[in-house]
Amino acid sequence: MRSRFFMIWFLSVLMFLSVGCGTDKDRVPNEATGAIPEAKSDGQPTETDFIENTLPEETAPETTPSEEAEIFLPETQEAEDNQPASVDAFAPQETESLLPTGYDGILSSEYVIIGKDYYCVTKRKEKVGTISMPTIISLDSGDVRPLCPDPLCPHDSPAVCPYVNVNAYFPIPFCAADEHTFFVLFETSVGCRMDRLDSASGSVRTICRASEEIRLLCVEDKTVWAAVGGFLIGYDAETDAEVFRGAIPSGTTPHFIRDGKVYCSTIASLFVTDPAFAEDYDKISVTGPADAWYYDTTDGSFWINTVGEQGGAVYVCRDGGWERVDLPIENIFCFALTADKIYFSPWDPKKIRGAADKSGGKIYAVDRKDPNGEAELVYTAEEGEPLCSAASHYVVFGDFLFYSGMKIEGSSLSIAGDLPKIRIGLDTGERREIFWDGG
């Protein structure tokens, strides 16, 4: 009886399995092993699919930078939630980046970068005069907005908008301690003043006034460094209190301070000293005054170019001292530095309606690891358009070149009047003119 019951149960199970599973044409025994592969649901590839049926290279799905950021960089998600973390614009960056940009950890006299935002100055001619405004350009989206956080502000007078200057010849010099705290120089009827702007609260405080020139240098370790007249002065970035004052030797120009070192120049030399100017070391003789500088926080190298009457050169200061950078062309007018490339323009004066663009309107690029290697011509300015001058230099971020628009006045290149920031896609050639109001 038990044997008969077992036989009936066994036959029932076989019938159930044959009805429920059906026949899967893909689930055939392997000829070599006899094994039957596991079933897969519609649209869900199995591990075997990825191993044995890899997509051809030309059809494989690409991973975009934004996808990588979401996977590997949780701080990117925080930014999307409108909760930006405090950022020290001049703090050392990590030596490796999952999403290298070419400007990570590169500081410069030519720009302020915080996160993915490029801070510069643009000018717009209005009824009241030419308005200069610190301007924020997103390097990701291309969005543009003025530094002034008030959307209802007319931005037409320093008495109303403390972020602007009117009819100033030079762009407003400024630097940043974080994404909210900016130190800005303004021209006044009696000289200069340096203000501290807090874009989060809208507060403005004047740190110092001087009838002499004020030159902002940098923010380092919560100290704002400026050359005020003949003195190097450090101000506490939070309290504005003066924390250091030292006399600058005659003929000396300090450019940048890092880790207790002051990078300086004279008309005939580059050297490093301490804030008290007690001892000069790592000195090298040069021809012509120093110009734009770059500092790479990943290796501690300081780069600067000098320009005289007949051309210039690029120099770098590393642990072993100063050396001239051996570029494919001997005389250099200006340069820009990224993590992997050196961009430069030869000394090649080109007449444009009576004025001279000494860059010749051309930019070349070489590998930083092989600066004397083959140079690639990456950009040629449009006919009749100035590219750069002693008062206005270009910068490169990723595939984009930025430089300031200029006018021809007599025999000079002028940055008076409208001064858009021009963005060129080095890979596409696309051109865009950017003003602080969007342009």
- 88-92, 151-155, 301-305, 331-335: least confidently modelled range: 88-92
What is the rounded CA–CA span in Å between residue 394 and residue 345?
10
Query: Percent of the chain at pLDDT above 70?
Result: 77
Say what the pTM is. 0.76
**pLDDT reported for residue 439:** 63
Q: Give strand pairing partners of 196.
A: 183, 205
Report how far residue 87's alpha carbon sits from residue 180's, in angstroms, rounded to the nearest whole number.
Answer: 9
Task: Find residue 427's DSSP bridge partners.
Answer: none
Mean pLDDT of the chain: 79
* Nearest-angstrom CA–CA distance, 197 and 175: 11
User: pLDDT tens-digit profile of 103-113?
Assistant: 889 999 999 99
Out of 51-55, 121-125, 293-297, pick the least confident.
51-55
Q: What is the largest CA-CA distance in the chain?
A: 118
Residues in a beta bridge with 363: 379
Per residue in 11-56, pLDDT (tens digit) is 443 443 333 333 333 433 343 333 333 333 333 333 333 233 332 3
Cβ–Cβ under 8 Å, residues 401 and 390: no
Contact, 305 vs 324, CB < 8 A? Answer: no
Q: How do residues 218-264 score in pLDDT, each as one tens digit?
A: 999 899 999 999 999 999 998 999 999 999 999 999 999 999 999 99
DSSP-derived 3-state class of residue 101: coil
- Which has more confidence, 66 or 377? 377
Residues in the chain: 439
Rounded Cα distance between 281 and 101, Å, is: 34
* Residue 160 β-bridge partners: none
Mean pLDDT confidence for 276-287? 92
Q: Are 135 and 423 in contact (CB under 8 A)?
A: no
Interatomic CA distance for residues 162 and 349, integer angstroms: 39
Contacts made by residues 245-252, CB under 8 angstroms, sequence distance 24+: 246/275, 246/276, 246/277, 247/277, 248/277, 249/277, 252/277
| Predicted pLDDT at 393 | 93
* Amino acid (1-letter code) at residue 206: T
User: What digits encode the pLDDT tens for the residues 313-341?
Assistant: 999 999 879 999 999 999 999 999 999 99
Q: Tell me the H-state helices in 285-364.
A: none
What is the rounded distance in angstroms from the CA atom of residue 155 to the CA atom of residue 168? Answer: 15
Structure tokens at 32: 């070599």
Q: Distance (Å, rounded) from C-alpha 298 to C-alpha 7?
A: 78
